[in-house]
């Protein structure tokens, strides 16, 4: 059985993320969506909310599940017997950002990273842009799976 992990912050999960997860599942027996903390980002949604919404979104996809990556991705992969790390690419900037991480993960664990090119119709969809559109009152429903809009709207309410 080949296990892949598709890591990211998923803040929020987008249609682009779902596209990559579905296509990764066609290649691997099991796909774990790894909801991670990125120290260089300040997420809108806490890890529990990102886990819950991603889990609900991928529930109908056989062989795809969601877990929190609490710490180093390389350690997470070793603990779960992961064979490959999957990363989605929208363009050259994504490749430039992902290549050093892929090399570091291979150096730490020997686990290879596989890049899956995203659907061109979704190449402009990024969680950061979705958050920005939502913060300014724009409609994000065309960029995120069902159920994500109310979670994002709730997170944007003033405390």
Closest by CA position to 39, among listed 4, 64, 69: 69
Pairing type for strands 64-69 and 3-8 reads: unpaired
| CA–CA distances in Å: residue 139 to residues 3, 14, 110 | 36, 13, 42
Q: Provide the β-strand partners of residue 5.
A: 32, 85
Beta bridge partners of 96: none
Q: Which residues are catalytic?
A: 17, 41, 90, 127
25 within 8 A of 31, measured Cβ to Cβ: yes
């Amino acid at each position: 059985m080949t296990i892949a992990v598709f890591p990211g912050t998923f803040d929020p999960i987008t249609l682009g993320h779902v596209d990559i997860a579905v296509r990764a599942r066609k290649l691997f027996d099991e796909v774990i969506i790894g909801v991670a903390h990125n120290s260089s980002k300040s997420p809108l949604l806490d890890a529990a909310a990102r886990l819950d919404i991603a889990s609900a979104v991928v529930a109908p996809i056989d062989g795809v599940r969601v877990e929190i990556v609490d710490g180093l991705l390389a350690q997470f992969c070793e603990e779960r017997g992961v064979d490959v790390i999957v990363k989605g690419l929208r363009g050259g900037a994504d490749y430039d950002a992902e290549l050093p991480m892929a090399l570091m993960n291979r150096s730490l664990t020997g686990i290879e990273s596989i890049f899956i090119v995203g659907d061109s119709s979704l190449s402009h969809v990024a969680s950061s842009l979705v958050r920005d559109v939502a913060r300014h009152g724009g409609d994000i429903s065309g960029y995120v799976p069902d159920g994500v809009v109310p979670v994002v709207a709730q997170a944007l309410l003033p405390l």
